[in-house]
Amino acid sequence: MWTNFFKLRLFCCLLAVLMVVVLVINVTQVEYLDHETVSATFIDSSGQFISSQVTGISRNPYCGYDQQTLSSQERMEEDSLLAALHRQVPDVGPVPFVKSTDPSSSYFVILNSAAFFQVGSQLEVLVHVQDFQRKPKKYGGDYLQARIHSPKLQAGAVGRVVDYQNGFYKVFFTLLWPGKVKVSIFLVHPSEGIRVLQRLQEDKPDRVYFKSLFRSGRISETTECNVCLPGNLPLCNFTDLYTGEPWFCFKPKKLPCSSRITHFKGGYLKGLLTAAESAFFQSGVNIKMPINSSGPDWVTVIPRRIKETNNLELSQGLGTFPSGYYYQDQWRPRKFKMRQFNDPDNITECLQRKVVHLFGDSTIRQWFEYLTTFVPDLVEFNLGSPKNVGPFLAVDQKHNILLKYRCHGPPIRFTTVFSSELHYVANELNGIVGGKNTVVAIAVWSHFSTFPLEVYIRRLRNIRRAVVRLLDRSPKTVVVIRTANAQELGPEVSLFNSDWYNFQLDTILRRMFSGVGVYLVDAWEMTLAHYLPHKLHPDEVIVKNQLDMFLSFVCPLET
């Protein structure tokens, strides 16, 4: 008996030692993973997810963001996002203008040009880029946008672009409506221009600068402000105590930091490019220029059977691409049936007894403006706020509707914002009780385009934490995220608000809010797929479709 007991004790001791050894090995492997390598699943330039081993992630030292205290999970996520977006630009050394991408010399070919396609078929297009000497390029990195459209049907959808890094690109389209469907490919920026934009993003994040007015009695001073400031001059530290979001101003010479009155955009730095670099940013030459087809640029699509069409549109997974398409100027998401709110009474019925919070930049302020213009009973209450800045408030007392808009915290390029109104979205969300009659919509992207990506990731991380807490305490709260959108570009705008910058922000936003329990209004696809010219503030027909989608999340069709 004692012999058996001794053997049992010996076995237990050996088992305990083995478990300790295994634990030490696992901890060592995790620490090695955290510091050396990250298994990253990321999105390529086409929007596809690709798995890869990412080693030695390079972080931007701007403002000490490379020294942030992050959990291992947060660091893995950030490494994954940075790796996905930084790998896209080839480093080929200095390139003269004549050897850069020429959209007029480049061309595309429809590959699987069958006599007829069915709705739901895949269309493949090969793009071959050439330089201004009409010589084929041997590397990739150009930023292309692609769509299919039928002008008579007011139909359109975006395509997925795959860069083969050798001067060839493939574009994949899903044919989603019957009829004659035309292909359009645009060069937004050549790869040589993308390298310049990347350099500006990393080395010149202060190319948009901000200022604040300090006042006490008859004395007033204006100083420069930003996420961080160079030099050793005394600073006013306005870092948010709850989110830790950094913001600094140079300290006034005569006034205390507490005398700050307003925040406003100071301006844009000039002389950012050399003469050689400027050649890569020419309107009518290589900014958002069409690439022509070397053969037919259209196909004929025939209808599918009704049952197959219904399955095509409604049985899509979370990775659906494209997320939707236009038909007869109405956006049709592929994941669910979107309602049309064509009458003000429909909107009133949907929002009755609800409080709607709109947070973010001027692209979501458009929603406030549309609703208060279109719905007569929704009357704006004059808060005395600066025009186009806010905060704004509208009330429908009869139907118990409260609509609010507030801009996000700095950086924000508005003309003048009272410093007391500089509220961070995360803090505002923490103050909302939530519930089935609470609706939140957020759009934060445009004012971050000039900064290193780490700045935007940090902001979204704070907002996401607040959203998760809100949904945890009030699961029936409806939270909607409006994505970025394409806009008109010229030589100067490209350096500050290029679609390439905003595509990066849009990619990060989608990844970071995936699986959080929020709804997405895909403003990116809704602008790219439409026939109207791209604008920072899209035209009313696009805004109307965005709001139809937003309201469909708030008041879905009963099935």
Question: Would you state the structure tokens that stand for residue 38, as one six-digit string?
Answer: 């990250």
Cis-peptide into 344, omega within 30 deg:
no
Question: Would you state the structure tokens that stand for residue 178, as one six-digit string?
Answer: 């019957």
- For residue 558, the model assigns a pLDDT of 78
- Mean pLDDT (the chain) is 88
- For residue 386, the model assigns a pLDDT of 82
Domain ranges of the chain: 97-195+279-306, 208-266, 328-554
505: amino acid identity, one letter: L
Question: Would you state the structure tokens that stand for residue 45, as one six-digit string?
Answer: 């330039």
pLDDT digits (tens, 9 = 90+) for 419-473: 999 999 999 999 999 999 999 999 999 999 999 999 999 999 999 999 999 999 9
Model's pTM, two decimal places? 0.87
- Which secondary-structure segment (H or E) carries 29? helix 2-35
Q: Answer whether CATH 2.60.40.10 is correct for domain 97-195+279-306.
A: yes
Domain 328-554 homologous superfamily, CATH: SGNH hydrolase (3.40.50.1110)
Phi/psi zone of residue 332: left (φ > 0), alpha (ψ -120 to 50 degrees), beta? beta
Question: Would you state the structure tokens that stand for residue 397, as one six-digit string?
Answer: 């007392």
The DSSP result for 288-331, as a single string, is SEEEEESS--EEEEEPPPHHHHHHHHHS--TT-SS-EEEETTEE
CA quadruple 331, 309, 111, 151: dihedral sign:
negative
Note the Cα 9 to chain centre separation in Å.
Answer: 60
- For residue 217, the model assigns a pLDDT of 95
Confidence of residue 2 (pLDDT cuts 50, 70, 90): very low
pLDDT digits (tens, 9 = 90+) for 139-190: 999 999 999 999 999 999 999 999 999 999 999 999 999 999 999 999 999 9
Measured distance CA(484)–CA(482) in Å, rounded: 7
* pLDDT over 90 (residue 394): yes
DSSP label of 287:
B
498: amino acid identity, one letter: S
What phi and psi, each to the nearest 5 degrees, are found at residue 243? Answer: -95, -20
* pLDDT over 90 (residue 53): no
pLDDT digits (tens, 9 = 90+) for 310-324: 545 443 334 589 999
- For residue 413, the model assigns a pLDDT of 95
- For residue 66, the model assigns a pLDDT of 63
- For residue 387, the model assigns a pLDDT of 82
Classify strands 401-407 and 355-360 as parallel, antiparallel or unpaired: parallel
CA quadruple 110, 113, 116, 122: dihedral sign:
negative
Q: Which residues pair with 157 in a beta bridge?
A: 148
Structure-derived torsion over alpha carbons of residues 264, 267, 268, 270, reported in degrees to the nearest 10: -160
